Structure 1
Amino acid sequence: MKATLIISVYKDVSALDAVLRSVALQKETDFEVIISQDCDDPCFDELIQKFSKNISITHLQQPDQGFLKTKMLNKAIRASKSERLIFIDGDCVLHPRFVKEYVRYIQPGRFCISRRVNLDAETSRKIRSGEKTVPGYIEMIKNKSTSVEESFPLWSLLQRKIVPLLGCNMGWHKSDLIKINGFDETYVTPGFGEDTDIEFRARKAGMVPFSTRYKTIQYHLFHERPNREELVKVSKELFAERKTREDFRCQFGLETLEN
């Protein structure tokens, strides 16, 4: 098996339906899917049963006890059967070459960083309803989607800048995640932390960032965003404290370490 696609979800059924439809169209077929659900709600059961007929899907859950995404991500890493791990969110639709490109670029010692197109409300509505699976360029521009350039592969010839890691579109070699003890489970507020922290620790461990922008293309479905300013502040304060530590491994991750 060439890769494991880990999809972080909560309860957005129409979004995951759209994502799995795009997964079913991938040019690369030798990969598994792990749906990492940060609650134990049965809302996805019927959907997963439908897609499991043609896609290898493992569904992981845990009790709904707050924002424990990093804990679920570590569970997904442990359950994965591949060395190439691809992480996305459950509201990010994939270009047909998405997995194929990650298989091409993920390797030990480096982590892959990419971005996403932010779809407008109307294009997102059509995808959620099943009218289409992947948006077209003209439609996105006409409907005023943002960051549409992220879907133009030729931009990779012009843009060489390494941007910060984004948790909804990143690729890792499992051995590297094991080395740094996976995701830090002490980040329990949304909006900031789990991706910033793991990038910092990976760099500290000697791993290098590698841009797959304009190649590993995904489209983020529109949804209203809550105000998370105070929650982000909590995570930033935690990250500032974590940066002062010498060890690149987190204490609470894939395994619990001694202080």
Structure 2
Amino acid sequence: MQASIIISTYNSPLWLEKVLWGYSIQTINDFEIIIADDGSTEETKLMLKKISSETSLLITHVWHKDDGFQKTKILNKAVLVSKSDYCIFTDGDCIPRNDFVEAHLKFRRKNSFLSGGHFPLSKMLSKIISKKNILNQSCFDLKWLKDHGLETKFKNIKLTKSKSVAELMNLVTTTKPTWNGGNASAWKQDIFAINGFDERMQYGGEDREFGERLINLGLKPVRVRYFAICIHLEHDRGYVNEKAWKINDEIRKSTRNEKRIKTPSGLNLHS
């Protein structure tokens, strides 16, 4: 097994199902999927059972009781049950292009982690995309997207099908390679070396802090922004709160100032 795909989710079975159809047609299929479920209702469990019977995907459902935004905690639990030595992290609202896994495996290197991004869609487009559009990959086709309401912007070049253009854009982009929870990957030994995600943190920079500790460990962030492509389905964000942001900011300042590698509240809490 070449990779463990860890997908975070919370009460979004319709979006998650679309994401899983994307993984059912990857050019490389030697991977497992671990659903890091932050307390969804039975509806998500039933959808996973259904799609498991309709695809050849190897899916493990890791769930804990709903206790507010606890993404860092469920991600750590998912890492602990993963069977591969390489982990690709994404979210249950990010549909992967059919070469998404291949791109992460192609560019992985020792002493580094991969930093990707996502292509945001409107709520209207997010709803329109169907299983058929995912299986035939039309949802990644700019003409199809524009025919269904996508605005013409320079950022649309991210969906280019040209390898040479993708290589050029990846070189010239000024976007800093950081750990982005919807599209990033790392070796499991490095995740264990920094003690996983900091469970003191809720929403707001928790992914970036994880990446900052990987850099403190000595890893080089490698940009795959124009190689590992996924489209982001729009949704409401009821989990945002100012108190969590302030706590997270203080933790991130401490991580940077102290060059801290290990969090005191990570994988060790589950051993």
SS of residue paired to 2:102: helix
Whether the 8 Å CA contact 1:15–1:90 is kept in 2: the answer is yes
Q: CA deviation at 1:229?
A: 6.2
SS of residue paired to 1:18: helix
Over residues 30-89 of structure 1, what are the superposed CA-to-partner deviations in whole Å (9 max), with x where a residue is unaligned? 100000000152121221112223110000001111111111111111111101100000
- Separation in 1 of the partners of 2:46 and 2:169? 44
Match of 1:212 in 2: 224
SS of residue paired to 1:224: coil
Match of 2:156 in 1: 148
Considering fraction of residues, name the structure with more helix: 2
Match of 2:201 in 1: 187
The sequence identity of aligned pairs, in percent, is: 30
SS of residue paired to 1:228: coil
Query: Structure 1: which 5+ runs fail to align?
Result: none
Whether the 8 Å CA contact 2:213–2:262 is kept in 1: the answer is yes
Whether the 8 Å CA contact 1:120–1:140 is kept in 2: the answer is no
Give, as a single letter, the amino acid of the residue that structure 2 aligns with 1:243. Answer: R
Alignment of 1:28-107 (within 5 A): 28-39=28-39, 41-53=41-53, 54-107=56-109
Give, as a single letter, the amino acid of the residue that structure 1 aligns with 2:99. Answer: R
Q: CA deviation at 1:184?
A: 0.8
Q: Indicate yes or no: 2:250 matched with 1:237.
A: yes
SS of residue paired to 1:103: helix
Q: CA deviation at 1:202?
A: 1.0
SS of residue paired to 1:243: helix
Give, as a single letter, the amino acid of the residue that structure 2 aligns with 1:144. Answer: L
SS of residue paired to 2:213: helix
TM-score by length of 2: 0.86
The alpha-carbon distance between structure 1 residues 179 and 233, as it changes in their structure 2 partners (threshold 3 A), is same
Query: Structure 2: which 5+ runs fail to align?
Result: none
Q: CA deviation at 1:246?
A: 4.6
Q: CA deviation at 1:196?
A: 1.1
Give, as a single letter, the amino acid of the residue that structure 2 aligns with 1:241. Answer: S
The alpha-carbon distance between structure 1 residues 76 and 247, as it changes in their structure 2 partners (threshold 3 A), is same
Q: CA deviation at 1:241?
A: 3.1
Match of 1:132 in 2: 133
The alpha-carbon distance between structure 1 residues 28 and 242, as it changes in their structure 2 partners (threshold 3 A), is same
Whether the 8 Å CA contact 2:170–2:226 is kept in 1: the answer is no
Whether the 8 Å CA contact 1:118–1:148 is kept in 2: the answer is no
- Separation in 1 of the partners of 2:234 and 2:34? 23
Q: CA deviation at 1:120?
A: 2.2
Give, as a single letter, the amino acid of the residue that structure 1 aligns with 2:185. Answer: G
The alpha-carbon distance between structure 1 residues 181 and 137, as it changes in their structure 2 partners (threshold 3 A), is same
- Separation in 1 of the partners of 2:206 and 2:232? 19
The alpha-carbon distance between structure 1 residues 226 and 45, as it changes in their structure 2 partners (threshold 3 A), is closer
Give, as a single letter, the amino acid of the residue that structure 1 aligns with 2:190. Answer: D
RMSD of equivalent CA atoms? 2.1
The alpha-carbon distance between structure 1 residues 151 and 245, as it changes in their structure 2 partners (threshold 3 A), is same
Alignment of 1:163-174 (within 5 A): 163-174=177-188
- Separation in 2 of the partners of 1:253 and 1:166? 18
Q: Indicate yes or no: 2:267 matched with 1:254.
A: yes
Give, as a single letter, the amino acid of the residue that structure 2 aligns with 1:235. Answer: N
Q: State which drifts further: 22-31 or 140-149.
A: 140-149
Whether the 8 Å CA contact 2:6–2:89 is kept in 1: the answer is yes
Over residues 169-206 of structure 1, what are the superposed CA-to-partner deviations in whole Å (9 max), with x where a residue is unaligned? 00111111111111111102x1x222111111111111
The alpha-carbon distance between structure 1 residues 227 and 38, as it changes in their structure 2 partners (threshold 3 A), is closer
Q: CA deviation at 1:245?
A: 3.0
Give, as a single letter, the amino acid of the residue that structure 2 aligns with 1:179. Answer: A
Over residues 114-145 of structure 1, what are the superposed CA-to-partner deviations in whole Å (9 max), with x where a residue is unaligned? 11110123321122x53521412113345235
